[in-house]
Amino acid sequence: MAVSYMTEEGYNKILAEINYLETVKRPEISAQIAEARDKGDLSENAEYDAAKDAQGIMEAKLVQLKSLLSNARLIDESRISTDAVQILNKVKIKNIRNNAVMTYMLVSDPEANLKEGKIAVSAPIAQGLMGKKVGDVVDIAVPSGIMRFEIIDISI
């Protein structure tokens, strides 16, 4: 698995999810399996099958999250600059066509969350903004075609 750059906040969020899965969900699922097992014949026991499926899904998620953390490299936020667009910058951009103004924070892939205005550095818009400066106008290829944006502000 490739190295994954993330903030301390993102790292701690994944750590908390691992802790929750191990200390809350795992015992819950184990209890469900035990309860279903106590009901007798397992060959036609839908509750047992469902609990075993849930256990498999949860264990797979745990493996995935632990792997993500084992390959994580924390970003030193004190070294983030606003001279040009880079990871962890908040970038205010204006769509030249319709004058819509948007602000996005560029984050690592696991931390991306569009509802929070956080886009992955691997996303087409982020890729098009990387390295650009305030005042630059950039053409970015998106699924619907080419969009032109002006960079209005870069902040932390």
Predicted pLDDT at 2: 65
Alpha carbons 5 and 17: distance in angstroms, whole number: 18
Phi/psi region, residue 99 (left: phi>0; alpha: psi -120 to 50; beta: rest), is left
CATH number given to 78-155: 3.10.50.30
Predicted pLDDT at 4: 76
Q: Is 4-74 in CATH node 1.10.645.10?
A: no
Q: Please state at what angle helix 26-37 crosses helix 46-70, rounded to 10 degrees.
A: 160
User: 82: which residues sit within 8 A by CB, 6+ positions away?
Assistant: 89, 154, 155, 156
Domain boundaries, the chain: 4-74, 78-155
- Does the reported pTM lie above 0.75? no
Predicted pLDDT at 93: 95
In 3D space, the residue among 81, 92, 151, 146 whose CA is nearest the CA of residue 117 turns out to be 92
pLDDT tens digit at each of 156 positions of the chain: 567 778 888 889 899 999 999 999 999 999 988 888 887 777 777 888 888 999 999 999 999 999 888 888 887 777 778 889 988 899 999 999 999 999 999 988 888 898 999 999 889 999 999 999 999 999 998 888 899 999 999 998
Query: In the chain, what is the straight-line distance between the N-terminal and C-terminal CA atoms, in Å?
Result: 29
Predicted pLDDT at 7: 81
Predicted pLDDT at 73: 82
